[in-house]
Amino acid sequence: MSTSPDGTVPVAVIGSGNIGTDLMIKVLRHSPTLRMAAMAGIDPDSEGLARAARLKVATTHEGVDGLAELPGFDEVKVVFDATSAKAHVHNAEVARRHGKLMIDLTPAALGPFVVPPVNLDAHRDADDVNMVTCGGQATVPVVAAVSRVVPVVYAEIVASLSSRSAGPGTRANIDEFTETTAEALRTVGGAQAGKAIIVLNPAEPPLVMRDTVYCVVEGELSERTRERTADSVAAMAQAVRAYVPGYRLKQRVQFDPVEDALVPGLGRRVSGTRVSVFLEVRGAGHYLPDYAGNLDIMTAAAVRTAEKTAALRGWVKPA
């Protein structure tokens, strides 16, 4: 069976923490094509599993193995992994063995990176796709938008998150965050070299997620090329905003000269133009408060990936 009797696609979530719980709420309340079938965790007393039970979602505290034993698991088409990189290895193997699409929100990155408005179509047949990082989901689209107008020699991003919205997983995987995001700036965004920085901001009251993107291109850009670049960034921001309503440009795209600068990762000096883009990501408040844009953009991107892949694979009619 491809879909439920009502035409929706059954999905399951592994992980009953903040990310998994927010995913569940998004599917239950806001997805027209997905149906929340089950949630799996490993802590029988977790708030996420308790909430799932109250919402009449099937639960297990025996992880992915318990999930595979639940009645109706055969009908599940998509499994979201909101656990850890270490746990994902086994989770992905079980999902693959049962023929499920795995959408990975951990740093494991066993499958290809997917950023929905940039490269989802290219990985429509992959059985395990990775959602990069919150910083990657916010900034890679901007780098890709610049790259489709003019080649980007170097991209650097700074993601500033409220320390309140950074859970134990984020704090324990800072190195993986920076490495994974930098790699996605290259492989998905199209930059020749990339660097990512994360800042956990302790300000009170908590600040919403802010992202700064710097793209260096060689040579001076004509006025027309600058206009095309700014238009490309604006169009990409609108594409992201279609599934993350709190995503927006803070100001106009900036263009500044770069003279004989040493580019990290390239080992050579470059003269040209720095394209600067400043972003804000305000969360939807589905689970954590709206300052947690970093949580919201990851879960929203994962849901968008599931919805669009379901349409691409013919499980549901395209919207």
Q: What is the pairing mode between strands 247-249 and 268-281?
A: antiparallel
Residues 6+ apart with CB under 8 A from 18: 167, 287, 288, 295
Is residue 182 located within the same domain as residue 277? yes
pLDDT of residue 1: 33
Judgement on whether residues 77 and 111 belong to the same structural domain of the protein = yes
* 155 Ramachandran zone, left/alpha/beta (phi>0; psi -120 to 50): beta
Half-sphere exposure at residue 308, Cβ-oriented, CA atoms within 13 angstroms? 20
Check the annotation: does 166 bind a ligand: yes
Structure tokens at 163: 């320390």
- Report, in angstroms and rounded to the nearest whole number, the Rg of the chain calculated over CA atoms: 20
- Helix axes of 293-312 and 18-30: crossing angle, nearest 10 degrees: 50
Q: How far apart are CA 315 and CA 129, in angstroms?
A: 18
182 and 123 belong to one structural domain: no
Do 148 and 285 reside in the same domain of the chain? yes
Assign 75 to helix, strand or coil. helix
Whether pTM > 0.75 for this model: the answer is yes
Residue found by looking up tokens 């998509």 in the block? 78
96 occurs within a structural domain: yes
Decide if 318 is inside a domain.
Answer: no
294 among the known binding-site residues? yes
What is the residue range of 221's domain?
134-290
313 is in an annotated binding site: no
Cα 78 from Cα 37, distance rounded (Å): 10
146, 152 contact by CB (below 8 A):
yes
Q: Are residues 59 and 195 in the same domain?
A: no
Q: What residues contact residue 5 under an 8 Å CB cut-off, 6+ apart?
A: none
The reply to whether 1 falls in a domain is no
Euclidean distance between the first and the last CA atom of the chain, given in angstroms as a whole number: 21
Q: Are 220 and 275 in contact (CB under 8 A)?
A: no
246 is in an annotated binding site: no
Blockwise average pLDDT, block size 10, the chain, 319 residues = 70 96 96 97 97 98 98 97 94 98 94 98 97 97 98 97 84 86 97 96 95 97 98 98 97 96 88 97 94 96 98 85
Same-domain status, 272 and 251: yes
Task: Find the CATH number of the domain harbouring 69.
Answer: 3.40.50.720
67 located within any domain: yes
C-alpha 286/C-alpha 161 separation (Å) is 18
Which positions are catalytic? 134
Instruction: Kindly tell me the burial class for residue 208, based on how many C-beta atoms sit within 10 Å of its own C-beta (0-12, 13-18, 19 or more).
Output: buried
Angle between helices 293-312 and 134-147 (to 10 degrees): 70
